Amino acid sequence: MLKKTLAAFGLLLLAAIAYLALWPVPVRPVVWSAPTDPGYTGAFAVNDHLAQLNMIDLGREEGPEHIVIGPDGKLYTTVLSGNILRMNPDGSAQEAFVNTGGRVLGFDFDSSGNLIAADAIKGLLSISPSKQITVLANQVDGQPIRYADGVVVARGSGTMYFTDASTRFAPAEWGGTFEASVLDILEQSATGRVLAYDPATKATRVVARGLAFANGIALSADEKSLFVAETGKYRVWKIGIDASNLDVGAGTANPQAAVLLDNLPGYPDNLMRGLDGKIWVGLVKPRNPTIDKLANKPFLRSVTMRLPRSLWPVPKAYGHVVAFSEDGKVLASMQDATGAYPETTAVTETRDRLYVQSLHAKGLGWLKR
């Protein structure tokens, strides 16, 4: 009996080892070098400035991922259901402005009052004040735009600059935006791109590529440079708008692109221009030492995918938004170590309030200025 038990145990052990080592996973992890995490020091010293947020109830909606005050003075925000909500700045008179049938992440308004949306499922969309939806771009150079993420419209030229977070993992195919982002960041194949759509010619071009999950995007005040969040490598780039198919991941110096903020204490998400020259970025999750240690161990990262999801090294909840200048100086760092308001993606700043964006929150957080 003992021999049979040991034999059965041995077979189970071999099966478990074979599963962990060989079972197919969707990612093909590559080696990368994670910088040593400085932690919450210096400009990022721990504080509670983001605690005790006021809350606007969104009813059954969740995930106010991006917030913009429209040309009509109304507050617009995108939510998980696919709706774009419209309301007064105090949260009253809420309505579903439109549902794209996808999941809008970043958006902006053009000079004609059209809402220009980066829909992670549909591509780059234009939504008129009368709610007519037009697909502007869903491919570039014959390749599909698989994960439209952030967008900003140039006031001078009208050009729409937007990010395609990953050409490997489309939210439509992998269970949603969060799930697809986890796969892309775990793999580190750096297929994210910055794209530009010209409304005059209706042509889309690649500005830059080689980004490990290209996320939020903002324009410089003179509209000659783009700020782009590279979520997977904890940094923010400054890239010239005239760049063409520039591979920022090639490791060679280029005058058209430079890392502006490096080795951040968390994963940068949306970028939003604030007042007085500030740019806000949300650190959607803090860094996790286990994830950094696995950076040069692609096999172990594959093994991680075979574990139950409850055993994945998911970073803890931690609220954190940061304001910086165009030359990379940190101007504000607001935190809430409790993570009561989950996955802070950025801040929308008005003269009266700071609205805090979130990937999964049930309400819309805000603070008085």
Check whether 18 has a pLDDT greater than 70.
Answer: no
Would you say 339 and 314 are in contact if contact means Cβ atoms under 8 Å apart? no
For the record, the structure tokens of 201 come out as 């010619």
Q: Among 36-40, 234-238, 302-306, 307-311, which stretch is predicted with the lowest mean pLDDT? A: 307-311
- Condensed to tens digits (0 to 9), the pLDDT of residues 55-79 reads 999 999 999 999 999 999 999 999 9
* 168, pLDDT greater than 90: yes
The order of strands in the sheet holding 319-324 is: 266-273, 279-286, 319-324, 330-336
Report whether pLDDT(302) > 60. yes
**Mean predicted confidence (pLDDT) in 347-352:** 97
pLDDT above 70 covers what percent of the chain?
93
Contact 149, 164 (CB under 8 A): yes
Tokens 């259901």, residue? Answer: 81
302 — phi, psi (to 5°)? -65, -40
The pLDDT value given to residue 250: 84
Instruction: Note if the pTM is more than 0.85.
Output: yes
| Contact (Cβ atoms closer than 8 angstroms) between residue 25 and residue 305 | yes
Residue 333, classed as helix, strand or coil, is strand
| Average pLDDT of span 263-289 | 97
**In this model, does residue 82 exceed pLDDT 80?**
yes
Q: Residues 249-262: pLDDT tens digits?
A: 887 778 999 999 99
∠ at Cα 320 (316, 324), nearest 5°? 145
